[in-house]
Amino acid sequence: MNSEVRSFLEKHDLLGCIQCGRCTGGCPVAARTDLNVRRLIYESMDEKMLDKISKLPQIWDCTTCSTCAVRCPKGLKPLEVLIGLREVLVESGMVQPTVRDALESVFQEGNPWKKPRATRLDWAEGLEVKIAKPGEKVENLIFICCTVAYDPKLQDIARNLVKVLNKAEVDYGLVGDGEMCCSSEVYSLGEAGLFEMMVEDNTELLNSFAVNRIVTISPHCYSTFKNQHPLLKMESVHYTHLLCKLLAEGKLELTKEVSRKVVFHDPCYLGKKNSVFEEPRFILKQVPGMEILEFARKRERSLCCEGGGGKMWVETESLKERLAENRIKDARALGADVLAVACPFCILTLDDALKAKGLEEEMKVVDILEILNEAAG
């Protein structure tokens, strides 16, 4: 029996929209694509049109950055309407093959990258790392993330985190090789059924550990555990929260100088979605020798890198300059030689953009953890 008795209109409170256009006005991708979320909200009010609208390519340009939700005077969430439209297409089975493959991979192998479950911990080979045991008390449960675990470009982030935790003698344990996709992107892609299933499975798995806190590398994992897992019996934090605490309590000492001009890029899922702005900045301020610059578009106005919202699996139709390239240009204009990030998707898209712009000699895109490791000596 389908328990969805509410119509699309009711579910997304479409009648609450006053069509003011602040959403589209602030939407970072509206300038480079055909995405006009204000208009799509209006058109979606007619249930008969949903099938047609769900086939529009531009609904996949949304990165779920939440700028629209931040700006909406009625407190609505336009991005959820777009996710709802994606849901219509997903249920029909006719999603793009790359989306299909990512979703099937999560369903069958617990990660969207078509990698085997069995190799999830391969990044940790040769590293001294603690794995949590169900039932055994530990303070911090560490959740790595599918993308970090499997992408050779990002595996160093996990290693750096472990090294820092070991150095600071933190009481931690990794979820280990049973770790499976937090499914934040599954939600963004509109596969509600798979998302529900993963929430159930993850809640059961994570609750089996005797922990008070789960610490994630990716803001996406942090956000979904915090906001979309109501039965999860632990606090969900991002690694910047934990590291902040360690630095403030003197448990981690940064003694080596890292003399560089760094600008921090606020990840949408830390900043806009969860109002976490101070912790990454505090961490960077503790690094000796670091000169901290700020983007004009910072904090809530941070320019989305276009890595989230399923964008890893859906190519945009637009040929206009990517937002990430724009961000790189801005960072260079500031005179930064390091663009610091705290999200694996940001690293991938910004690093790609750096290469596309041919600026690898002038600037580096690095995760805060890499800087920390260097400074911790």
Partner 1 sequence: MGDIFVLAEHRRGELREVSLEMLAAASDVAPKLGGNIIAILLGSGVNSFAEKLAGYSDKVLYVDDPLFADYNSEKYQQALSDLIGRYQPELVMVAHTTQGVDMAPALAVELKMPFVTDVVGLSFEGGELQPVRTYYQGKINADFAFKGKPPYLITVRESSFNAGDPTKFGTVEKILSPMKEDVQYRKFVEYIEAVVGDVDISQAEILVGIGRGLREEKNLPMIEDLAKAINAVIAGSRAAIDAGWLPHDRQVGTSGKNVKPKVYIAIGISGAFQHLAGMKAAKTIIAINKDPNAPIFTVADYAIVDDLFKVVPKLTEKLKELRA
Partner 2 sequence: MKMFVCIKRVPDTSEADVKIDQTGKNVDSSRFSFGINDADNYAVEEAVLIKERRGGEIKFLCIGPKDSDVVIRMSLAKGGESAVRIEDPRINQKDPLQVAKVLAAAIKKEQFDLVMTGCMSGDDSNMSVGVALAEELGVSHAAMVKSVEIMDGKIRVRRELEGGLSEVVEMFLPAVITIQTGINVPRYAPVRGIREAQKKELKVLKLEDLGLAETEVSEAGSRVELLNLYIPVVASIAEIILGTPEEKAEIMAVKMVKGGLL
Cα–Cα distance list, 82 to 38, 105, 126, 159 (Å): 10, 23, 44, 36
> Binding residues for partner 2, per CB under 8 A?
90-91, 93-95, 97, 99-100, 103-105, 107-109, 114-119, 191-194, 196-197
Q: Which is nearer to partner 1, 87 or 185 (CB)?
A: 185
| Chain mean position to CA 367 | 13
CB atoms within 10 A of CB 115: 17
Answer with the entry of partner 1, partner 2, none that 61 interacts with (C-beta below 5 to 8 A by kind): none
Q: How far apart are the first and last CA of the chain?
A: 59
Q: CB of 72: closest distance to partner 2 in angstroms? A: 29
Q: Return the residues of window 80-109 that contact partner 1 according to CB under 8 A.
A: 97-98
Q: Give dist(CA 244, CA 232) in Å, integer.
A: 24
Q: Which is nearer to partner 1, 92 or 98 (CB)?
A: 98
Q: Return the residues of window 151-170 that contact partner 1 according to CB under 8 A.
A: 152
315 lies in the binding site for partner 1 (CB under 8 A): yes
Q: CB of 217: closest distance to partner 1 in angstroms? A: 22
Answer with the entry of partner 2, partner 1, none that 152 interacts with (C-beta below 5 to 8 A by kind): partner 1
Helix boundaries (H) for the chain = 8-11, 22-26, 37-43, 50-53, 67-71, 78-92, 97-109, 146-150, 155-167, 184-188, 192-207, 219-227, 239-248, 278-285, 323-334, 344-356, 368-376
Q: CB of 315: closest distance to partner 1 in angstroms? A: 5
Query: Tokens representing 198?
Result: 């993963």
Q: Give dist(CA 125, CA 306) in Å, integer.
A: 32
Answer with the entry of partner 2, partner 1, none that 134 interacts with (C-beta below 5 to 8 A by kind): none
Answer with the entry of partner 1, partner 2, none that 114 interacts with (C-beta below 5 to 8 A by kind): partner 2
Q: CB of 123: closest distance to partner 1 in angstroms? A: 15
| Chain mean position to CA 88 | 23
Residues engaged in binding partner 1 (CB under 8 A):
97-98, 152, 315, 355
